[in-house]
Amino acid sequence: MSVAQGKTESAGGVARRGRVRKFSLTPTVTVYLALVALLVVGSVLVGLNGGVLLDQGGILNILTRSTVLGLVAVGQTIVIITGSLDLSVAYLVGLCSLVAAETMAGSDGMMVPGVLLALGVAAVVGLVNGLVVTVLKVNAFIATLGVALILRGYLEDNYTGPAGSVPRAFQHLGFDRIGPVPIGVLLMLLVAAAAWWYLRRTRSGYHTYAVGGDIDVARLSGVRTGRTIVIAHVLCAVAAGLAGVFLASRLGSGAPYVGTDAGYDLESIAAVVLGGAALAGGRGGVVGTIGGVLILATLDTVFDDLAVDPFFKDVVRGIVLIVAVALYARRKLPRRSA
């Protein structure tokens, strides 16, 4: 009944695509290209100022700055891929640093229980986030904001400043190096690698992408969507917990606002988005996120070397973020046929 039973038409895409994969400018590639460009520009600027950006100290500086944000952002990547997000991570980082430091209370024997308890608390907070999102069906923004406020209330009520103390032995985590590389950086990369493996190699990881891509499709295909979202939230919270533990090791004690002072909630989301993930879910990855974290850390390092006004710093970070997302959006402009 339709007009084109005519076979003359050849337009349209039934034609076979070549097997050859062309090098394509995916967000992940873009973010690393941007990183390289930034390093070059930064080196020149710092060089003109009479300093050196990329000597060993400089590189270490960038990597060290990336450690805590990297941990948090890797976790954030997983929740964002499911189409959720977590605004409670900043307070959670503080809370976990306190739990770890207070449990250890300077005693060597309590190091393992301290770490486990901190991660356990994180997991419970993540579980609550996940359940509020899936069972109570509260929008993730509101759900995790609510949990963040609860955590803040608890912290403000019970702490006025640093508390607890970690034993000297535990501070090795924060300050030692293996060869030239700080243990913290290795820890962060290890967590990133584990998250990459989880997302790219396990069924649960596949389902994470599926749920974020289209939750109805995932459900109709037999994916347990609720469970997938809850797992994502737990993993994200545990990553934030690790960040808290690491900070306790560096600071020597727990600090209630160490996470919020650094703005790890929004900063981690910024890094994930900078790394090419779609805030709506279904797309993104750990590799891109680490790129995003490195860009933010490099910016900070360059600005510090140049002794730039901190307010101007934020302006530039904001511009970088918006430009990056605008560039990704451009590439996705709908192409119409017919």
- The piece of 35-43, 134-142, 167-175, 210-218 that touches another protein (CB under 8 A) is 210-218
Q: Is 20 an interacting residue with respect to another protein (CB under 8 A)?
A: no
Residue 74's contacts (CB-CB under 8 Å, 6 or more residues apart) are 188, 191, 192, 195, 239, 286, 289, 290
Compute the least distance from the CB of residue 226 to another protein, in Å: 14
Half-sphere exposure for 68 (CA within 13 Å, toward CB): 29
Q: Is 226 an interacting residue with respect to another protein (CB under 8 A)?
A: no
Compute the least distance from the CB of residue 182 to another protein, in Å: 30
Q: Identify which of residues 15 and 48 has a Cβ nearer to another protein in the complex.
A: 15
Q: How far is the C-alpha of 122 from the C-alpha of 101, rounded, in Å? A: 14
- Restricted to residues 256-315, the positions that interact with another protein (CB under 8 A) are 282-283
Q: How far is the C-alpha of 113 from the C-alpha of 3, rounded, in Å? A: 74
Q: How far is the C-alpha of 48 from the C-alpha of 63, rounded, in Å? A: 23
CA distances from 36 to 31, 39, 296 (A): 9, 5, 13
Compute the least distance from the CB of residue 41 to another protein, in Å: 32
Nearest to 35 by CA among 299, 326, 268: 299
Strand 177-178 versus strand 181-182 pairing type? antiparallel
Of 49, 139, 158, 202, the one binding another protein (CB under 8 A) is 202
Q: Is 23 an interacting residue with respect to another protein (CB under 8 A)?
A: no
Q: Is 337 an interacting residue with respect to another protein (CB under 8 A)?
A: yes
Q: Is 338 an interacting residue with respect to another protein (CB under 8 A)?
A: yes
Site for another protein (CB under 8 A): how many residues?
40
Residue 70's Cβ-count burial label (10 Å; 0-12, 13-18, 19+) is buried
Q: How far is the C-alpha of 144 from the C-alpha of 134, rounded, in Å? A: 12
Q: Is 139 an interacting residue with respect to another protein (CB under 8 A)?
A: no
Of 45, 64, 214, 227, the one binding another protein (CB under 8 A) is 214
- Restricted to residues 169-198, the positions that interact with another protein (CB under 8 A) are none
Q: Identify which of residues 178 and 220 has a Cβ nearer to another protein in the complex.
A: 220
Which residues form the interface with another protein (CB under 8 A)?
A: 1-17, 19, 201-203, 205-207, 209-210, 213-214, 216-218, 220-223, 282-283, 336-338
